[in-house]
Amino acid sequence: MGENQTSITEFLLLGFPLGPRIQMLLFGLFSLFYVLTLLGNGVILGFISLDSRLHTPMYFFLSHLAIVDTAYACSTVPQMLVNLLNPAKPISFTGCLTQTFLFLSFAHTECLLLVVMSYDRYVAICHPLRYSAIMTWRLCIILAVTSWILGVLLALVHLVLLLPLPFCGPQKVNHFFCEIIAVLKLACADTHINEVMVLAGAVSVLVGPFSSIVISYIHILCAILKIQSGQGRQKAFSTCSSHLCVVGLFYATAIIMYVGPRYGNPEDQKKYLLLFHSLFNPMLNPLIYSLRNKEVKGALMRMLEKEGT
C-alpha cells in the first residue's frame, strides 16, 4: 500500500473504558481465566494423547477442538491484558491485521470442527454397526485437515479485501482486539463489499453448519428414543450432551453477533459477547467435556491411580 493511501501505522484499542482500579481487577480476573483456558485444554490434550482408550475418532476431533480453543484465546486475550495494563499502548497496523486474520481463521475452523464432531456422533448413534467402516482414520484426518484449510482460506478472503483499504484516521478501534467490523469502520473508503462478505461468511460458516448440526441431532434424538435399553439410552445421551452444550455456547453468541438483529448499542453488545466468545467459551469447553463425559473422567482416575502407585 502506498503512503498516499495509508497514513496510519498503528491503532489504539479502546477496550473497556473503565477506571484504573477496575481495569487492574479485570486484568487479574482475565489472567486467571486465560491460565485456566490453557491448563484445561492442555489437560484434555494430555489425557487424549496418553490414554489409549481415548484414541478414537470422537477424541481425535476433541483434541483438534482443544488446539483451536487454545489458539483462539491466544489470538485475542494477551493483547486485551496488555491493553488493560497500559490502555495508551498502540498496536501496529501489521499486528492488527495479523490478529484479525488469526481470530477469523480459528473461529471458522472451530465452526467447521463442531459440524464434523456432530457428524461423528450421528454415525455413532444412527449407524453403530457401520461406525468403524465409515469413520476410518483416513476420513477423520481428511475431515480435520479440511476444517483447518477452509478456516484459513475463508479468513484469507477477508484479509485480501481488507489490505487495499486506506486508513487515514481516526486510529481508535472501539474494541479490545482488532475485530474486523471495528477495523472496517476506520477505513477512508467504501467498505460495502467487505461488509457484504463478512455477512456472507457468517451465514456460510454459522447458519449453514448450525442448521446441519440441528438436522443431525434430530436424527440422533429419534435414534436414541428407539433404543430399548434405559442404560443404552442414557449412554447415548451422555455422549451427545457435552457436544450440544459446546455447540449451543459457540453458535448462539456467534449468530447473535454477526447475523442477528441489532438492538440498543450494537458495538457495546458485540464487545461483551465477543469477550464471552473468545475468553469464556475456550475455558468452559474442557470443563464441559471433563465433567459430563465418563470416559474423560475415567482417564483422569486412571492417571491419578498411576501417580498413586
Q: What is the pLDDT of residues 6-19, one digit of tens each?
A: 467 889 998 887 88
Q: What is the pLDDT at residue 295? A: 67
Check whether 112 has a pLDDT greater than 90.
yes
Check whether 235 has a pLDDT greater than 80.
no
Report the Cα 240 to chain-centroid distance in Å: 19
Do 15 and 27 form a contact (C-beta atoms < 8 A)? Answer: no
Q: What is the pLDDT at residue 271? A: 82
| pLDDT top residue among 186 and 231 | 186
Distance (Å, rounded) from C-alpha 205 to C-alpha 279?
20
Q: What is the pLDDT at residue 307? A: 60
Q: What is the pLDDT of residues 264-281, one digit of tens each?
A: 456 677 788 888 888 888
Q: DSSP letters along 178-213, please?
A: --HHHHHTT-SS--HHHHHHHHHHHIIIIIHHHHHH
Average pLDDT of the segment spanning 93-109: 93
Q: What is the pLDDT at residue 221? A: 87
pLDDT band at 3 (very low <50, low <70, confident <90, very high): very low
Do 130 and 123 form a contact (C-beta atoms < 8 A)? Answer: yes
Q: What is the pLDDT of residues 117-137, one digit of tens each?
A: 999 999 998 998 999 999 999
Q: What is the pLDDT of residues 15-40, one digit of tens each?
A: 887 888 898 999 999 999 999 999 99
Pairing of strands 10-13, 91-92: antiparallel
Q: DSSP letters along the chain, please?
A: --TTT----EEEE------HHHHHHHHHHHHHHHHHHHHHHHHHHHHHHH-GGG-SHHHHHHHHHHHHHHHHHHTTHHHHHHHHH-TT--EEHHHHHHHHHHHHHHHHHHHHHHHHHHHHHHHHHHSGGGHHHHS-HHHHHHHHHHHHHHHHHHHHHHHHHHTT----S--EESSSS--HHHHHTT-SS--HHHHHHHHHHHIIIIIHHHHHHHHHHHHHHHHHHH---HHHHHHHHHHHHHHHHHHHHHHHHHHHHHTSPP-S-HHHHHHHHHHIIIIIHHHHHHHHHHHS-HHHHHHHHHHHHHHH-
| pLDDT top residue among 238 and 168 | 168
Q: What is the pLDDT at residue 305? A: 65
Q: DSSP letters along 66-119, please?
A: HHHHHHHHHTTHHHHHHHHH-TT--EEHHHHHHHHHHHHHHHHHHHHHHHHHHH
Check whether 263 has a pLDDT greater than 60.
no
Average pLDDT of the segment spanning 201-230: 86
